[in-house]
Structure 1
Amino acid sequence: MKIKLFTRELVPDGTNGLGFQAFKPEPDKEFETRINDFMIDKNIVSVQSLKDSVFVTYTD
């Protein structure tokens, strides 16, 4: 049994007023797509969510 942790990533969102790179949280649709793509070929035992993290338990 293995556990895969998914957390919401930060994606670039242009620059802020001081000229530094600005970031925003990954959109819901992209987050869901990344998790679903991982789960396609796995034997999933359970999926748990805690705030912006998702834990997927699976077997090989």
Structure 2
Amino acid sequence: MLRAAYSKGSRVVLVKMDDVQAPPLGTKGTVQGVDDIGTIMVHWNNGSHLGVVLGVDICHKIQD
């Protein structure tokens, strides 16, 4: 279900991430996939590749 909601190529915007290396809030990125534990793997526009852990971090799908 999560893989269908965040399919490869979907665009997201970062709302919250509790990590010292997190991209700035509001950074947009492209979903690369969802791993087996439910982490959304994102290539952020600033070059970061940190994954979004649902339940800890928050991102929203966008159209852009």
Task: Check whether TM > 0.5.
Answer: no
Q: TM-score, normalised by structure 2?
A: 0.27
Structure with more of its chain in helix, by fraction: 1
Q: TM-score, normalised by structure 1?
A: 0.28
